[in-house]
Every structure is written in C-alpha cells, then in structure tokens.
Amino acid sequence: MLLETAAAGNRDAMLDALAGSRLFVLVARLHADTPGFTPPLTTQPDPATPGRMCVTALTSGRLPPWHPDWVFEATGLDEFARRWPDGVRWLAINPGTPDAVTLEAGPGRRRAWLKAHARTGGPQAGLLLTHRAGPLHGPVAHSLALGAHLAVHNGLVWNDLGAAYEGYTTDRARLRKPWGVLDRAAYRETLEALLATRLAGRTYESVLRIRRTLAGRLGRTPTVPEWSAALTDALTRRQSTGSEAAEAHEALRLAVTYEDRFRADGALGAGERVDTLAAFDYGRAVNVVRLALGARLCDPREAEQAVLRIGALAGQAYGSWAQFSLGYSLSRVMHFDADDSSGVKYEQSLAQHRVLTQDPNSPYRNIAWS
C-alpha cells in the first residue's frame, strides 16, 4: 500500500498510510535492555542518493531476519516528528528495498506528519493484516492462523514469525503482564500450561464436557433443563461444595446466554453448539510464542516448533475453522462477562469472528482446516 500511494504521487495519502503504520528502528538489545533507554533516531547515508543523510525506519513487512542481539522498537510518524534530530532533512522508509520511500523532513513537513497522525489516529486495531512474504499456506501458516483473533484485535499481521511482533519493549511488557513471564523458563512454563488448556477455565470446560457427553448418549443436543439436571447430578456425585456448584451453574448460564446471542447474530447455527473452549488457550499460545520470539526468549526454530505443536493439538480438538473460531469467541466472552456490562467485548469478539470467517482474504477462507 505504501509503495502504491507513493507511486500515485498523493502525498497526503502516503502520509496517512505511514501514520497508520508501525515504524521500526533498529536498536542493540544491550541498549534496549537498559532501564529508561529511549532509542535514538540514528542517521545513515541514503543508498538511493549518495551523500544524503537520512533518519531511517522500516515497516513491519521489511524487517530483516531475527537476530539475538539486535531488536526493533516500534514508533510512529508523530513520534518521529516530535523527536526529530537537528540538521537532518530526510526520512528514509525501507531504504534499499523495493518499498523504499524518502520524505522531506523540514519543520513544515513534520507538521504535516502530525496532522496525518491526527487524521488517522495511528495504527488501527480490528484489522486483518497479512504479510505477502509470510507463510500463506502449509502447517506453519495454519498454526499461526490460530492466533489470528488476537492479531486482528491488536491490528497486527497474523502470519509472521520474525524480528518483532509489536516491538521489543512492548513484547516484553505484554509478557510481564498479564502472563508474568520474565525469562525463558517462565515462558516455557506458560506455554505448556496453555498447550494443556489449563488456563481456559476448568469449570467452564467441565460444564461443556457434561453437555457433550450427554449429547453423545442422547444422539442430539440436550435441552437446557436436561443439561442442567445432568450438571446437578455430576456435582452431587463429586460432592461439590455450594460455591463450586454455584460456579458451575453460572458457567452453564453464561454458555447458554452467549450461544443464544451468537445464534441471534447469525454466527452459530440453530442446531450447533460449542463443545470445547480449548481454542482460547491455543489462540493465546500462538500469541505468547510470537511475543517470546520478539522478546528474544526463544529463537525462530523453537517458535516454529511451538506453533506447530499448537496446530496439531487444535486439529484434534476442532473439525473446522468455524468451530475453532466460535470456541475462541465463546470462551473470551464468558471470561470477560463480569467486566463487559457495555457489551464491547462481545461486539469485538463477534466482529473478529465475522472478519476471520467471512473476509475473502482471511486465512480461515484460504487454508484448509485439515
């Protein structure tokens, strides 16, 4: 898109495209790990014009291969305008590549950058973004697509295992909170917990399992009263406490409520149900792997092996992309029900499901489930 707008000569459109993109600057990992460090806007010769010095930045599709000691920090066109070094008159985007664009960077031009940022609001969430040079088919692409809900939610590309996910500092921060991951050992522990679906919600999953088992016996989806009675019987046999029983029946209520909403909105068919919420952990596991790769807590080979493991497990739990997506969406809205009185998270989840199952460019429309 950037190259096309530049070729068309529409300066405002090109600035809007840049303002809506994450721009990356190269930083030594040793410096990036220093508390309070702010990456400098370094200059280098413009390969297209000998003798001209430029501040340089890369878009996500043009980052070089992953390296353990060199990382990339994400910034925006507005940040470049605010931190611009004295005496430099040019900004080079993707220098030396087919997508190279050079911008004048005088004071008036930098004011136009800030206006472009104000127009666009910066990088947008809720978008399905695909790297043309990333994996589009095959097992790795299939496995990465399991994390597409979070990629769409954050406005990040879904099909990349490379030098950065969202940016080195941000990747490390997202691992610290909410995952509590600070080192390789904690990353591996978290990944194994997600692969074992220990974080999807044992009560939620147990309640759905009771319905699935009952459906197998009946040869049809049980009614809500039948499901509730079977749940009560199971809780009695387990000698569950009152609080455990209340939690289980609340899980049933949430599942019924949100399945009904998905049906009313056309996402879940009249005779369909969600049998497992494992998709939520598998989708988040892909995200954790990509964050760990960006944070340099694993290398590309480890990351690829991890996402392939996730893909194999998801293939055993679900029979289609639609089933996987609904499992992810239902689990997400059940988990966040208590703090979603406005319905925003439900609407987000429904929108992500629709984008991934209906957009012609979605991996869910272009990669066979099995």
What is the spatial distance between Cα 312 and Cα 320, in angstroms, rounded to a whole number?
Answer: 13
Give 232's pLDDT tier (boundaries 50, 70, 90). Answer: very high
Q: Are 204 and 277 in contact (CB under 8 A)?
A: yes
Question: Which residues touch 240 (CB under 8 Å, ≥6 apart)?
Answer: 248
What is the spatial distance between Cα 126 and Cα 128, in angstroms, rounded to a whole number?
Answer: 7
Give 8's pLDDT tier (boundaries 50, 70, 90). Answer: low
Residue 285: half-sphere exposure toward Cβ, Cα within 13 Å? 33
Q: Among the listed ranges 76-85, 146-155, 214-223, 338-347, which one has the minimum average pLDDT value?
A: 338-347
Handedness of CA 292, 99, 114, 127 (dihedral sign): negative
Query: How far is the CA of 186 from the CAs of 190, 221, 267, 288, in angstroms?
Result: 6, 40, 37, 11
SS3 letters for the chain? Answer: CHHHHHHHCCHHHHHHHHHCCCEEEEEEHHHHCCCCCCCCCCEEECCCCCCCEEEEEEEHHHCCCCECCEEEEEECHHHHHHCCCCCCCEEEECCCCCCCEEEECCHHHHHHHHHHHHHHCCCCCCCCECCCCCCCCCHHHHHHHCCHHHHHHHCCECCCCCCCCCCHHHHHHHHHCCCCCCCHHHHHHHHHHHHCCCCCCHHHHHHHHHHHHHHHHHCCCCCHHHHHHHHHHHHHHCCCCHHHHHHHHHHHHHHHHHHHHHHHCCCCCCCCCCCCCHHHHHHHHHHHHHHHHHCCCCCHHHHHHHHHHHHHHHHHHCCCHHHHHHHHHHHHHHHCHHHCCCCHHHHHHHHHHHHHHHCCCCHHHHCCCC
Please check the confidence at residue 1 and state whether its pLDDT lies above 60.
Answer: no
Question: Which residues touch 109 (CB under 8 Å, ≥6 apart)?
Answer: 103
Give 7's pLDDT tier (boundaries 50, 70, 90). Answer: very low
Q: Are 348 and 357 in contact (CB under 8 A)?
A: no
Question: Which residues touch 175 (CB under 8 Å, ≥6 apart)?
Answer: 181, 182, 187, 288, 291, 292, 295, 297
Stretch 175-192: mean pLDDT: 97
Per-residue confidence (pLDDT) for residue 42, from 0 to 100: 83
Please check the confidence at residue 194 and state whether its pLDDT lies above 60.
Answer: yes
Please check the confidence at residue 280 and state whether its pLDDT lies above 50.
Answer: yes
What is the spatial distance between Cα 172 and Cα 212, in angstroms, rounded to a whole number?
Answer: 39
Q: Are 101 and 53 in contact (CB under 8 A)?
A: no
Q: Are 274 and 193 in contact (CB under 8 A)?
A: no
| pTM of structure | 0.93
Stretch 313-334: mean pLDDT: 97
Stretch 7-16: mean pLDDT: 76
Per-residue confidence (pLDDT) for residue 370, from 0 to 100: 83
Per-residue confidence (pLDDT) for residue 355, from 0 to 100: 97
Q: What is the residue whose two structure tokens read 């699935």?
A: 212
Percent of all residues in the chain with a pLDDT value above 70, rounded to a whole number: 98
What is the spatial distance between Cα 44 and Cα 92, in angstroms, rounded to a whole number?
Answer: 9
Stretch 230-235: mean pLDDT: 96
User: 19-43, pLDDT tens digit by residue?
Assistant: 999 999 999 999 999 998 888 888 8
* Average pLDDT score over the chain: 93
Stretch 141-155: mean pLDDT: 97
What is the spatial distance between Cα 157 and Cα 130, in angstroms, rounded to a whole number?
Answer: 5
Per-residue confidence (pLDDT) for residue 49, from 0 to 100: 84
Q: Among the listed ranges 33-37, 175-179, 307-311, which one has the minimum average pLDDT value?
A: 33-37
Give 5's pLDDT tier (boundaries 50, 70, 90). Answer: low
